Structure 1
Amino acid sequence: LQSAFGWRLGKITHAGKRSAYPLALTRAARAITHRTVLVGNAAQTLHPIAGQGFNLGMRDVMSLAETLTQAHERGEDIGDYGILCRYQ
């Protein structure tokens, strides 16, 4: 490796045995229940590559906020199960 990459990152040393971990998506059985919504890693977990879990969590929050804002503007109960199901 040292001859291929040179010294720009310093000396490359042997760190130890390599390991592999399977990439998996895990989802909650139910993301919505009575007046409760799971978002981000509470709703689904991903392998932490490139902050994808954070990005999806932010997307979830934005989507839920839009759904709740629309319901609130129509005078609807934002905790109603039917309203929360619109988020999914």
Structure 2
Amino acid sequence: MLSYHEKRTNAIKDCIKLTAERLIALQRSSELSSNECNKEVTRDIQKKQLLLRQFQTELLNEEVIQTSAFKVIYERCREHFRHPVFDKFRDYDL
């Protein structure tokens, strides 16, 4: 499960990095393009910005999902299973 979460997080981070690079390239081309092409480039920039925000939101959602999954496993298996990832939940024990 840990490796799956790590792979998914890394994939989302790679998508964020790639989208940010493409957005920067579009912004640079927008500065150099003529006014006729500028509307089309501006529309593409807005689409890339939206996509970048969606990836960032997905990364935050993934962190919440991971924390929830780890917390459930910790609550059910804390007597039998010890792992460093569960250290942050030990403070919540009663």
Higher normalized contact order (CA 8 Å, seq sep 6+, divided by chain length): 2
| TM-score normalised by length of structure 2 | 0.33
Pair member with larger Rg: 1
| TM-score normalised by length of structure 1 | 0.35
Structure with the larger strand share: 1
Structure with the larger helix share: 2
